[in-house]
Structure 1
């Protein structure tokens, strides 16, 4: 009887041992399965790092894109303002330079692009003096410039047309003009045009007829007035009557200005004898050429009336109306 009881205890113990082993095996198996399913810590860290790196790269790109956009906007604002800071090399011994007065006019000879050869030659000859007689390019681009010695009521119409056609121009003003018509000068600036220097008194015998000191005063007095009253720095200069000399070119250069002549002009300044509109428009188109600098007088009723048609026809020929400041930046 006792023997039977001991046997039963041994059987129960063995059975419990087997059950315990089975439970242990099941637990080990479950742990192995769970470990296979759970990502390795290193892999997890790398994944998170890669994700963060990705977000960091995206953020960096976003910042760079924002900075690029800001830089682009700044460049656009500078370009729209039309203001350029020149850094002309000073010309020494101005007193010793030739002051023989010469007028600017072009002969009939033109190259294969219809460009006046005289303008190209003078552009090369006087290059050290920071001067333009033409823009030496084969690209189809022209530049509009208006001389403003006095106001004859045409400038508002000219500005309206330029605004309508989304075209920019250079307006060369005298000091008396700016004093008499400040609203128009301010409008030129506000609408993105360039205001250039056309002296104080517009000397009828030309700049070379004046002393070095007086020539400098003609430039810098107007410069100071525009800067003080409009907060605008001028940098382009046009010679009254087109009379200049080697010495006067050096004076303008040393005042940190660029002299701007022209590769097209016609008799449009006599308000009592205005040229025919159709003939004038045909002439402007006939002389069309790459890099053209058109000199037009703003007191001309003809110029004011044909300006819109001229811009349309120029563009129809594949040309663009250039922004002068773009050529200097």
Structure 2
């Protein structure tokens, strides 16, 4: 279950719960860690704020029947995204994982069991969550997984960031998301556009859920609207160099 760590309108005090504070429309948000503070751990939440580039990412704990439409929209706009997946997705949707790779997307590490990683204090337990997903991915694709990691629920600790770095991973948070993960309370198109158009900003790392019916229905139009606003699309590879 994804909790509402994905969208916070006020700055969070806890270092274990990723949060954002939004000000003027079109401007980057503040966060509970700066880009400079995160960089020492090879962690990121935003790209170059001087360039109108968007970095699109999706989280998925399971397949809800909407990913094919999302992939279709991405292909139409020639946008490469990063999908942060968990073990359940790997075991139940190997063909969809293969399609993501074949169509030029990154498939990255959202841990195997989607736990609160900030509660994990040992490298052994941390590396097992990361490593089990790597093993599953390699079994499906025959390839090594890109070493990008997103903490489930946005919950993290400094020791987690250090352990991820020791394992060779880059940690990715986000600078724009909205409440899109409740199946029985999906946002309307108008509600989605209000957040995703009003809060878009240069260098945005956008988090969406591919389990969202709304996202599957609006993505084609959303990408068009962002393009009309002068934005182009990059990949997380561009941020890490």
- Per the normalisation by structure 2, the TM-score is 0.89
C-alpha separation in 2, matches of 1:159 and 1:129? 31
Relative contact order, higher structure (CA 8 A, sep 6+): 2
What SS does the corresponding residue of 1:142 show, helix, strand or coil? strand
Match of 1:231 in 2: 142
Runs of 4+ in structure 1 deviating by more than 4 angstroms, as ranges, are none
CA deviation profile, 1:197-232 (whole Å, cap 9, x unmatched): 0101101xx102123221111011111221233122
Partner of 1:209: 119
Q: Does 1:142 align with 2:58?
A: no
Aligned residues of 2:98 and 2:140 also touching (Cα < 8 A)? no
Residue 235 of structure 1 deviates from its aligned partner by 1.1
CA contact (8 A) 1:146 1:172 kept: yes
1:144-191, CA deviations, whole angstroms, 9 ceiling, x for partnerless residues?
Answer: 100010110010110011111111111011122111100000000000
CA distance in 2, matches of 1:107, 1:139: 21
Return the offset for 1:327: 2.6
2:8 aligned partner:
none
Counterpart in the other structure of 1:81: none
Distance 1:165 1:171 in 2: 17
How far did 1:113 drift?
Answer: 5.8
Secondary structure of residue in 1 paired with 2:108: strand
Are the aligned partners of 2:49 and 2:201 in contact in 1 as well (CA < 8 Å)? no
Aligned CA RMSD, in angstroms, stands at 1.6
1:282, distance to aligned residue in structure 2 (A): 2.4
Partner in structure 1 of residue 71 of structure 2: 159
Contact 2:56 2:82 in 1 (8 A): yes
1:166-185 matches, within 5 Å, as 166-185=78-97
Structure 2: tracts of 5 or more residues without a match: 1-13
**Which residue is equivalent to 2:208?**
296
Q: Which stretches in structure 1 are left out of the alignment for 5+ residues?
A: 1-99
Q: Which has the higher helix share?
A: 1
Q: Which protein has the larger Cα radius of gyration, Structure 1 or Structure 2?
A: 1
Aligned counterparts, 1:249-288, within 5 A: 249-288=161-200
Question: Which of 230, 234, 240 is equivalent to 1:322?
Answer: 234
SS at match of 1:103: coil
CA contact (8 A) 1:113 1:138 kept: no
Give me the TM-score of the superposition, normalised by structure 1: 0.66
Q: Which residue of 2, 24, 30 corresponds with 1:117?
A: 30
SS at match of 2:208: strand
Contact 1:130 1:253 in 2 (8 A): yes
1:289 to 1:101, Cα distance in 2 relative to 1, 3 A: closer
Counterparts of 1:180-199 in structure 2, within 5 Å, are 180-199=92-111
Name 2:5's counterpart in structure 1: none
The CA distance in 2 between the partners of 1:295 and 1:315, in whole Å, is 18
